[in-house]
Amino acid sequence: MSAFAPWSIEQAEVVVNKCASRTGPVLLTLQALQCEFGYVHPDAVPLVARTLNVSRAEVHGVLTYYHDLRTSPAPAHAVRICVAEACQSVGSGAVVQRAEGELGVSMGERSVDAIDLESVYCLGDCALGPAALVDGQLLGRLSPPQIAAVIASLRSESA
């Protein structure tokens, strides 16, 4: 059972109106919508723009700039693999390749079993690269067989 409310324009209006008088309202409003629904529904963009008296382009810009804001419901699991230089130099490319093969998707896509595979540029764990963030847990010194085992574990957990 989801901890988020189902999307409705009526409930979105309540959330947006609560944020309208705050300083820096666009980002705070989008964050509040995501807290309420788990994501920012595309229909919220014109509502936020109209209520806050800003352009749709400004709202869209903020929504797409911040990586943690999402425009679709969250996946069952998220695998984020560092592809910054330090991790690349110790083999993150092979880890990425194995993860893509295991999931049958490319970076930036969601597998059929609702596992998102994303690249990130630095997790702050450079000394223990290749690194990944799996459902919020930092993993270091990953090898291709280890990422395959992690993905298998996520799948069995979801089954």
**Number of structural domains, the chain?**
2
- Looking at the structure, do residues 88 and 134 belong to the same domain, yes or no? yes
Mean pLDDT of the chain: 94
- Looking at the structure, do residues 58 and 100 belong to the same domain, yes or no? no
- CATH number of 147's domain: 3.40.30.10
Query: What confidence tier does 2 reach under pLDDT thresholds 50, 70, 90?
Result: low
pTM strictly above 0.85: no
- Looking at the structure, do residues 36 and 94 belong to the same domain, yes or no? no
- With respect to residue 1, please indicate whether it lies within any of the assigned structural domains: no
C-alpha span between 150 and 99 (Å, rounded): 9
**Sheet containing 137-139: order of strands:** 109-110, 115-120, 77-82, 132-134, 137-139
Q: What is the pLDDT of residues 35-90, one digit of tens each?
A: 999 999 999 999 999 999 999 999 999 999 998 899 988 888 999 999 999 999 99
